[in-house]
Amino acid sequence: MRLCIIGGSTREPGGVETFCERALEAVRAHWSEADGLWIPADSAFMRPARLPRLLRGLRALYRAQRTPIDVVWLNVSNLPDLLYLYLAKALGIPVLATLHLGANSRLQRGAVLRRLCRLLLRRADRIALLFEGQDAEIDLPGSVPRATIRTFLPRESFLPRPPHEGGDLLHLIHAGRLSEGKGSFAMVDLCAALERAGTHFTARIVGRGDETVMEALHARIEANGLKHRIALSDWLAGPALLDALRHADVLVHLSRLDSFPLTVLEAMASGTVPIAIDMAGVRVMTETYGGHLVDPDAAVAEAAGWIAGKTLADLRRRGDTMGEQVRDAYSWPACVATLRAALDATRSG
């Protein structure tokens, strides 16, 4: 099988790009009959100046079909991604679509965009859900068959977490594509609340956003007097991000957009306890393995209160137990097997 994975952005890398990259690595390692390639969609934060990047991605798919592609696995996070669906179908390629979004994403909040997305997805041959129940929170066409796959942890996740070296200082981390909706500003507000409460902590924000977002983040950090508490760093890929997660005690992921965030699962495997807004996908994670969910309307206050009620030793014990369970549940062979079943069904119709 010649598989083409499409999705993610090379300009503002985040969870979707990491997901695609890692899925290709796992397929190459555990599916000897598959020949895979990955084409970044480059559709994030789409505006006229970024249109050439999207067009280059579409051309890359057209040219890749010169050596026939058996199936396209399209990872959708926004409306422009669906252009790849229609190009693939025009080229006669079956398409398996996975939606990396939840009920609070822009494509689901507005009635017009929600209906348009559902209408466009009718051309997909099959939809691969990221978790059981994802189809209950997003609007999908009833005529398209569905399957459930698993997400892919980094190879380094399957190594045991090293002994804690953080001393008596609580370490917080927020990682991903930075924006208001992703909870990046809520991270700063949480740090401000912890500072007022006298909590001993350090924090790190890892990722990229557009210029407006980055300027606003720096301004909010300075306005709250948190430059000594919060370190901002560029996006870290692969082992570097995993290492950052391993050295943190709590992942702060107060995103209103990500129902099943890859970063949360990575943190769990790393032994880092997540705090997240209550959404369907992350609820499945935390009910199974642990972590803490907060109400979207009181996210910062509830997160600060929960942290204040836990000892550092308790958080680290919870993280160690969680890490062992998640690493056992998400082996690459098991993940590739579910993906292979969905792709085979997509090809066969």
pLDDT in tens, 249-290: 999 999 988 778 888 999 999 999 999 999 888 998 999 999
Does the structure show a pLDDT above 90 at 48?
Answer: no
Distance between CA atoms of residues 32 and 316, nearest Å = 39
Residue 250 has what DSSP assignment?
E
Architecture per CATH, domain 156-329, reads as 3-Layer(aba) Sandwich (3.40)
Q: In the predicted model, what is the mean pLDDT of the chain?
A: 92
Does the structure show a pLDDT above 90 at 91?
Answer: yes
Amino acid 13: pLDDT: 66
Instruction: Name every residue whose Cβ is closer than 8 Å to that of residue 25 and which is 6 or more positions away in sequence.
Output: 152, 155
Paired tokens of 161: 């977490």
pLDDT in tens, 287-323: 999 999 999 999 999 999 999 999 999 999 999 999 9
pLDDT, mean of residues 175-184: 93
Does the structure show a pLDDT above 80 at 67?
Answer: yes
Instruction: Name every residue whose Cβ is closer than 8 Å to that of residue 298 and which is 6 or more positions away in sequence.
Output: none
pLDDT band at 194 (very low <50, low <70, confident <90, very high): very high
Give the Å distances, CA to CA, from 32 to 2, 18, 262, 340: 11, 22, 26, 12
Distance between CA atoms of residues 278 and 299, nearest Å = 9
pLDDT band at 165 (very low <50, low <70, confident <90, very high): low
Alpha helices of the chain — where are they, by DSSP H?
Answer: 15-30, 51-64, 82-90, 106-109, 111-120, 184-196, 211-223, 239-246, 262-269, 280-289, 299-308, 312-329, 332-348
pLDDT in tens, 134-150: 998 899 999 999 999 98
Tell me which H or E stretch contains 201: strand 201-208
Q: Which residues pair with 148 in a beta bridge?
A: 129
pLDDT band at 36 (very low <50, low <70, confident <90, very high): very high
Q: What percent of the chain has pLDDT over 70?
A: 98
Amino acid 202: pLDDT: 96
Does the structure show a pLDDT above 80 at 176?
Answer: yes
pLDDT in tens, 203-230: 999 999 999 999 999 999 999 999 999 9
Average the pLDDT over each of 43-52, 58-67, 340-349 and give the range with the smallest value.
43-52
Amino acid 12: pLDDT: 65
Across the chain, which distance is largest between two alpha carbons, in Å? 62
Report the CATH fold assignment for 2-152+330-348. Rossmann fold (3.40.50)
Distance between CA atoms of residues 177 and 182, nearest Å = 7
Distance between CA atoms of residues 256 and 262, nearest Å = 14
Q: Are 246 and 270 in contact (CB under 8 A)?
A: yes
Q: Are 99 and 139 in contact (CB under 8 A)?
A: no
Pairwise pLDDT comparison (44 vs 103), residue with the higher score: 103
Distance between CA atoms of residues 222 and 230, nearest Å = 10
Amino acid 166: pLDDT: 61
Amino acid 160: pLDDT: 73
Sheet of 230-233: strand order equals 230-233, 201-208, 170-177, 250-253, 273-277, 292-294
Domains 2-152+330-348 and 156-329 share a fold: yes
State phi, psi for 227 to the nearest 5 degrees: -65, -25
Paired tokens of 309: 């009620």
Distance between CA atoms of residues 45 and 86, nearest Å = 21
pLDDT band at 81 (very low <50, low <70, confident <90, very high): very high
Residue 49 has what DSSP assignment?
G
Q: What percent of the chain has pLDDT over 90?
A: 72
Does the structure show a pLDDT above 80 at 238?
Answer: no
Q: Are 161 and 316 in contact (CB under 8 A)?
A: no
Does the structure show a pLDDT above 90 at 234?
Answer: yes
Paired tokens of 253: 């992921």
Average the pLDDT over each of 44-58, 71-85, 214-228 and give the range with the smallest value.
44-58
Does the structure show a pLDDT above 90 at 193?
Answer: yes
* pTM of the predicted structure, to 2 decimals: 0.74
Domain boundaries, the chain: 2-152+330-348, 156-329
